[in-house]
Amino acid sequence: MRVIVVKSPQEMGKEAAAIIADGMCSKPHYVLGLATGSTPVPLYNELKRMHKEDGLDFSTTVSFNLDEYIALPATHDQSYRCFIDEHLFDDINIVKGNTHVPDGMTDDIETHCMIYEAMIEDVGGIDCQVLGIGGNGHIGFNEPGSSLASRTRAVDLTPETIRDNARFFKSADEVPKRAISMGIGTVLEAEKILLLATGANKAKAVAAALEGPVCIKVPASGLQLHPDVTYVITEDAASQLTLRYRS
Ligand code: GLP
């Protein structure tokens, strides 16, 4: 695995965007797996800049978001559909019909999740999956205890995640308690994985993911089983790592 340690979130965004742009240039109909949260925002800002100033073309790009809150309409300003439209899609030339976010309002979650997986398969799988990491080591909304073979499904959020995400809502009571998330097994099928982390509050989770045992207590540790993972992390997020890595 590669670990690229950078000085700032902006530098992280540039490193990660360069990796994605390289991939997009080498393959038409590039399939991106996208994450929400504050961490990937500098990446999305850089992709938007590259589109505007360098002509990076998203017209044939397809995307699948990792997750969505259950029972939050796509029009809600904290829905992940709203987030990714606002932080990325509205400012690039991606075709909205080629962008996919799980539907948290579906009345048949199981079928919806099966169809989501089938759509990923139909386009030949995800070329590059972007991930953030939760303070408890979650990826997407795969909370501790998620099977490393899990697929897209409904999940219950832990009290820690609800507390972490309460900053985006008026109160913790308003944070949805459930979500639809791609599984760890789904994520592990991506050709390439880019995990981003910034801030000292992620240092423990990053160290457990990279250097701890592969175990369901730390969902991101499952990435140790993938042959092509690049971590792009700031110095503070890397501060608890003890080994030397290829960058
Ligand atoms: C949410 C998302 C994750 C994200 C995590 C961390 O729980 N489901 O995909 O990685 O938040 O968010 P942040 O980047 O804001 O710390």
Q: Which residue matches tokens 């308690």?
A: 177
Within 6 A (CB) of ligand 1 lie: 35-39, 66-67, 132-134, 140-141, 161, 165
pLDDT digits (tens, 9 = 90+) for 62-75: 999 999 999 999 99
Residue 205 CA to residue 136 CA, distance in Å, equals 6
| Ligand 1, atom 1, residue with closest C-alpha | 37
Residue 62 CA to residue 242 CA, distance in Å, equals 37
pTM of the model: 0.97
pLDDT digits (tens, 9 = 90+) for 192-201: 999 999 999 9
For residue 7, give Cα distances in angstroms to 1, 117, 122, 197, 238.
20, 36, 39, 12, 10
Chain centre distance of CA 75 = 21
Strand order in the sheet with 62-65: 2-6, 229-234, 192-197, 128-131, 31-34, 62-65, 99-100
The verdict on whether 136 is a catalytic residue reads yes
Interval 217-225 mean pLDDT: 98
CA of 49 to the centre of ligand 1 (A): 23
Q: Which residue matches tokens 């160290």?
A: 207
Instruction: Find out whether 230 and 4 touch, Cβ atoms under 8 Å.
Output: yes
Q: Is 5 helix (H, G, I), strand (E, B) or coil?
A: strand
CA of 174 to the centre of ligand 1 (A): 17
Mutation choice for ligand 1 from 12, 34, 36, CB with most ligand atoms inside 8 A: 36
Tokens describing residue 26: 């080498």
The beta strand positions in the chain, using DSSP E, are 2-6, 31-34, 62-65, 67-69, 99-100, 128-131, 153-156, 178-181, 192-197, 229-234
Q: Is the pLDDT of residue 28 over 90?
A: no
Annotated active-site residue in 68, 87, 138, 142: 138
User: So what's the pLDDT on residue 26?
Assistant: 94
Chain centre distance of CA 81 = 13
CA of 40 to the centre of ligand 1 (A): 9
| Ligand 1, atom 3, residue with closest C-alpha | 140
